[in-house]
Structure 1
Amino acid sequence: MDIQTMLDMCRLRNHTTGKKILILGAGIAGLVAAYELERLGHTVEIIEASDRIGGRIWTHRFGDGEDAAYGELGAMRIPSDHEYTLHYVREMGLGDKLCKFVTVFEEQNALMNMEGKVFRMKDAPRVLQEQYQGIFKDERYSEQTRFFAAWLQTIVNAISPESLRKSLERDLQTHLMGELERLDLTPYFSEDGETIDLQNFIKENPSFRAKCSQALDMFLSDILIETSHDLLQIAGGTEQIIDRLVASIKGNINCNTEVTGLQVCKNSVRVSLQKNGEFYSSNCDYVLCTIPFSVLRKLELVGFDRKKLESIHNTVYCPATKVAFNCAQRFWEKDGIRGGASFSGEGIRQTYYPSVKGNTTMLASYSIGEDADKMGAMVEQERYDYVKKVVGKIHPEIQEEGMVVDEASIAWGNYKWSAGGCTIHWDGDESKHTINYLEAARPQNTLFFAGEHCSRFPAWIQGSLESALEAVYDIVTHKPRLDKSLDASCILPVRANSINIFAA
């Protein structure tokens, strides 16, 4: 459903105004829900456990002022067809700051480090033929097939976690080489035969995807997005949309207020809270929970049905670790690099260059999965030293005295308030299954849910926004209870003081 239709439906079905909604979590899902609920005549209050607003949208600024260098520790890209995201970028007056995001494999002067051999992306075809062994040298298959498979393996190696890299290797060994041999690959090679068009190949050959392992098939959808030439960014930092939303919301946003438990009652939700070492509870008519399930599953949950608890406990989260270096100069430009990403190898995975003019911050390492866990296990200074050492193998300048002016990093898998980078609908362990997002989004009486984990677009702002508006619709169309007295099905915890959260 397009966003305007969704907003119109919320407005047309909003027969009862004046509802009071407590929103748990001040990420973009909670903020957009608050923004729209207030526009529809309702009262909101937001609770945030951490000391900052924005959730996994986090722009780290190396200094003050609009011209300060910055790095994205969280969301950094917007696909051009993500209508919900672009709507709110423009709604918040940031449309003129949208610009192209140069992504991985798009900058041909970017570098690759394969087992100690450093070469430019544009030279990859020749090097790949020399480097890859095993199935890629098997003369039962045509040179075209072997070369195409080598490129596919390289793309997956650069983007995916270790489990999926191995999954592709297994699939190629057992049957995918045969499938590639059967297909006409010629239309997907560039005129010079040096690169492949993975976008069109995957879109036009569903039979190939059908023969991939389930996890790899689902991950290929992510690869299509991440290698698209139509990605956008907000010049000056993604967090600007958070700042504009906060300025547009009238209700209180209470940081450093941790939810410790939720009790679903017949006509209300009892929320247990901790702030400054004190425990409280509040009986609320409506609650919108945007807390990641990786965190929610650790709380005391009462009154949830079995399927909902299974969804909360079994939703899979992928770790992600980012390391940003603010540099004294854009030294990579001497190599003709104007953006995009290099493949630095050795666990730090992708190194992104800023494609916004004047920004001197490189995202020196962006890793997910097992690589992110290894990076996250390092203490911060050890992490910086390791990344500098590895990036130094493709960019010796990074090791020069004074080149790195400042550093910042985040290991989302270790971050208390997310316990993961994002949800995934794939997993390298085929014995696991992921929970349908519809189940994740399903309400429990007057407790509603939103966030990227409740959407068709896990890991993207689009998913948070779409699920937030669906929750808004469910809340405004819900018939309010007639009996305003304390819900008898909700038992007040002995340890907590009862408060009215909207009056506190």
Structure 2
Amino acid sequence: MKDHSGSEGISRRHLLSMIGMTAGTAAMYQAMTSLGFAAESGYKGPIKLDGDPKGASVLILGAGLAGLTAALELRQAGYKVQVLEFNNRAGGRNWTLRGGDSFTELGGVTQKCEFDEGMYINPGPWRIPYHHHGLLDYCRRLGVALEPFQQLNHNAFLHSTKAFGGKPQRIRDIKIDFQGHVSELLAKVTQQGKLEGAVSKEDQEVLLQALKSWGALDKDYAYKAGDLTSEFRGYRKDPGGGLSARPLNSDPIAFSDVLNSRLWRSLANFSLYEFQTTMFQPVGGMDMISKAFVKQVGELIRYNSKVKEIRQDETGVTVTYEDTTNPGSSLQAKADWCVCTIPLTVLSQIDMNVGAPMQAAIAAVPYASSVKVGLQFKRRFWEEDEAIYGGISYTDLPISQISYPSTGFNQGGKGVLLGAYTWNGPNSYEFTAMSPDQRIKRAVEFGAQIHPQYRQDFETGISVAWHRVPFTLGCAGDWTEEARKEHYDNLCQIDGRIVLAGEHASYIPAWQEGAILSSLDAISRLHKRVLAS
């Protein structure tokens, strides 16, 4: 590593990189926060839209969470509100598929979900971080019951086709052994005086104590098989009762094998600020959130409405739309103002008279590619055979990961896994190009390399490739740093009588929190404009 002890000091970028490599991404995020590079959700409590809008009307395009939030708050503030929604349901990407549901993707293929009653998959958002304060507040206010979502399960798997003969390894073993071996190395360096000048004598003593505790090192600062390491990584034979009670210690994996497996790369998924515990999910499916909104504002929504044109002038906004149950129809909706939450991939294809800066911003943001596959099995073999209760296994196979249900623990019977979740890259594009049946077939074939039980226990599945979903044409806004600098502010500015909102108009893209905060910001600024006019 290059020496950074010279007079020029160390750059913040390099400092963050070193923190990430040595202490993990969670520590790096906290360092970013202290340096002003990152922060948690900026939600400060329920919005207050004080002042009388004097009967002003607002047309909201899209009944995803951004649109539903705007409808709820603007109606509460005294506006006349109407919502146009493309689908026959509200929620947008806040979507849950259950037995009996069906949908048609681009290309005309219709899938029908054949899950048993009580089984479901969330093809869009599927977890809620504890620091997404806005979303959690709306769940609380609207009475949406939540339960824990298991992100980290030490007993789930890390898998590589290139390591350990393709045999999956428990997360616990890789995590603890990597931690232990690194602690031993650092302890040796410390004892040899290699940290002189970087760490004081007093701090070196404390560091050795910390490494001994954190890395499960013995009195000689060695990480090796014994009672202590088994307390961290588990036993070859667990403690029991009676004459067979004596446990057998487990053997740590050699440091070289841990390093060369590259499995440690997946450990970052459990340290990232976005995925730290506690995470939540709505009881019964993610769409419990949008259904709770609909109980409040459902009468304002006109479903099956495909927006064809958005025009504004000095007096208001006129939207031309088609009733998708009556193809070829042409209807109009008018209002004084418009909050547009249509995904940019779709909005870029709609005729809309806004200024060149907003038009350029709309066209500048591609959407990430993502595919999810839900698989139903005859029995919850991951619990019965593997003692895996919730959590996620990661793999270098094209399916990327397997997520186990965080509900219905230890009850037996059938269960649904998230059998594939791809995000951008060749695997995602390849899965998107497949037919739904091919995606499911491949997910089962790949998953069987981790869980052989797939072969005899699989029953049915369903897949969602987001670039083939007509109402989004992609998963979420995929900003680059350069695009944000040039276009983000122009995207969010009020253009005449139109303002945009959605996860794409936030610094928390691909999360429901981003959609909600974007909406609250947009309607706050719009409300000020209305009062001023």
**TM-score normalised by the chain length of structure 2:** 0.68
* Counterpart-to-counterpart distance in 2, 1:347 and 1:294: 26
Q: Does residue 46 of the first structure (1) align with residue 70 of the second (2)?
A: no
Q: How far apart in 2 are the matches of 1:43 and 1:250?
A: 14
CA distance change for structure 1 residues 4 and 346 in 2, over 3 Å: closer, same or farther?
closer
Identical-residue share of aligned pairs (%): 27
User: Aligned-pair distance for 1:261?
Assistant: 1.9
| CA-to-aligned-CA distance 1:165-218 (integer Å, 9 cap, x gap) | xxxxxxxxxxxxxxxxx99999799424899xxxxxxxxxxxxxxxxxxxxxxx
Q: How many residues align?
A: 400
- Per-residue CA distance 1:240-284 (angstroms, 9 max, x = gap): 111111111154322221111222323322322122212234443
Deviations 1:447-476 (A, max 9, x none): 111111111211111111111112222233
1:191 aligns with 2:215: yes
- CA–CA distance in structure 2, aligned partners of residues 472 and 436 of structure 1: 20
Tell me which of 474, 491, 497 is aligned to 1:440. Answer: 491
Partner residue of 1:463? Answer: 514
* Cα distance between partner residues in 1 of 2:468 and 2:449: 28
Instruction: Say whether the 8 Å CA contact 2:129–2:280 is kept in structure 1.
Output: yes
Distance 1:447 1:341, change over 3 A: same
CA contact (8 A) 2:341 2:500 kept: yes
Q: Which residue of 2 aligns with 1:114?
A: 161
Distance in 1, matches of 2:140 and 2:473, equals: 31
Task: Select which of 314, 319, 324 maps to 1:271.
Answer: 319
Letter in 1 for 2:444: K
- Return the alpha-carbon distance in structure 1 between the equivalents of residues 401 and 214 of structure 2: 24
Cα deviation per residue 1:352-391 (whole Å; 9 max; x = unaligned)?
0011125821100011102222111100101110000000
Q: Check whether the contact 1:316–1:434 (CA below 8 A) recurs between aligned residues.
A: no
User: Which residue pairs with 1:349 in the alignment?
Assistant: 400
Q: Measure how far apart 1:231 and its partner are.
A: 1.5
Q: Tell me, yes or no, if the aligned pair for 1:272 and 1:282 is still in contact at 8 Å.
A: yes
- Shift of the alpha carbon at 1:66? 12
The 5 Å alignment of 1:320-339 reads 320-333=370-383, 334-339=385-390
For the residue of structure 1 that corresponds to 2:289, the secondary structure is helix
Is residue 2:434 matched to residue 1:386? no
By relative contact order (CA 8 Å, sep 6+), the higher-ranking structure is 1
- Contact kept in structure 1, 2:71 and 2:297, CA below 8 Å: yes
- The match for 1:87 is 137
Instruction: Map 1:397-408; keep pairs closer than 5 Å.
Output: 397-400=453-456, 403-408=457-462
Which of 445, 466, 487 lines up with 1:412 in the alignment?
466
Q: Distance in 2 between matches of 1:280 and 1:88?
A: 33
Greater C-alpha radius of gyration: 2
C-alpha distance in structure 1 between counterparts of 2:166 and 2:312, whole Å? 58
**Distance in 2 (alpha carbons) for counterparts of 1:434 and 1:367:** 28
Partners of 1:227 and 1:147 in 2: CA distance:
29
Amino acid at match of 1:404: F
- 2: distance between equivalents of 1:408 and 1:69? 12
Aligned to 1:365: 420
The aligned counterpart of 2:523 is 472
- Counterparts in 2 of 1:70-219, with a 5 A limit? 70-94=120-144, 97-103=145-151, 105-115=152-162, 117-120=166-169, 121-124=171-174, 144=182, 190-192=214-216
Q: In the aligned structure 2, how far is the partner of 1:410 from the partner of 1:100? A: 24
Seen in structure 2, the aligned counterparts of structure 1 residues 297 and 86 have a Cα distance that, compared at 3 Å, is same
Across the aligned residues of Structure 1 and Structure 2, the Cα RMSD in angstroms comes to 3.4
In structure 2, relative to structure 1, the CA distance for the partners of 1:190 and 1:481 (3 Å cut) is: closer
Q: Name 2:232's counterpart in structure 1.
A: none
The letter of the residue matching 1:48 is E
Distance apart, 1:25 and its partner CA: 0.5
**Would the aligned equivalents of 2:65 and 2:516 in 1 still touch at CA under 8 Å?**
yes
Question: Conserved in 2, the CA contact under 8 Å of 1:107 and 1:341?
Answer: no
- Equivalent residue for 1:172? none
Question: Where in structure 1 are there 5+ consecutive unaligned residues?
Answer: 130-142, 149-181, 196-219, 483-504
- TM-score, length basis structure 1: 0.71
CA contact (8 A) 1:268 1:283 kept: yes
**Aligned letter for 2:421?**
Y
Kept in 2: contact 1:110–1:340 (CA 8 A): no
